[in-house]
Amino acid sequence: DVKVTQSSRYLVKRTGEKVFLECVQDMDHENMFWYRQDPGLGLRLIYFSYDVKMKEKGDIPEGYSVSREKKERFSLILESASTNQTSMYLCASSFGTAGGEAFFGQGTRLTVV
């Protein structure tokens, strides 16, 4: 089975902190994604990466950055956390360029106080 593992299920951080969300996949997938999920808004793409060291902005990249130094790991960074970044964050990975199935991690519920 494909496994996408997010390092934390729950996180509580203070406003202004630098926050790292880590995601690891074990199926050698080229593509990795970070989504933010909020009630009534569905999943919104923050960033995605189609190869090591490659990244592209999604729909809501402001306030976030990403890092992909190794194929299996994709990190989401909140440079200076704010309360409006309190949300559920979902990592996903997929294979290929033509719409293969995306596999999701369990999610990280981040609360910024």
Partner 1 sequence: AQSVTQPDIHITVSEGASLELRCNYSYGATPYLFWYVQSPGQGLQLLLKYFSGDTLVQGIKGFEAEFKRSQSSFNLRKPSVHWSDAAEYFCAASGTYKYIFGTGTRLKVLA
41 counts as binding partner 1 under rule CB under 8 A = yes
The string of DSSP letters for 39-96 reads TTTEEEEEEEESSTT--EE-S--TTEEEEEEETTEEEEEESS--GGG-EEEEEEEE-S
Closer of 79 and 101 to partner 1 (Cβ): 101
- Out of 7, 8, 13, 43, name the contact with partner 1 by CB under 8 A: 43
CB-based contacts of 83, cutoff 8 Å, min separation 6: 15, 112, 113
Closer of 14 and 39 to partner 1 (Cβ): 39
Q: Using the structure block, give the residue that is written with the tokens 């390092």.
A: 7
- Give the number of other Cβ atoms within 10 Å of residue 101's Cβ: 10
Stretch that binds partner 1, among 12-20, 60-68, 76-84, 105-113 (CB under 8 A): 105-113
Which residues in the 11-40 window bind partner 1 by CB under 8 A?
A: 31, 33, 35, 40
What residue ranges bind partner 1 (CB under 8 A)?
A: 4, 31, 33, 35, 40-43, 45, 48, 50, 58, 90, 92, 94, 97-107, 109
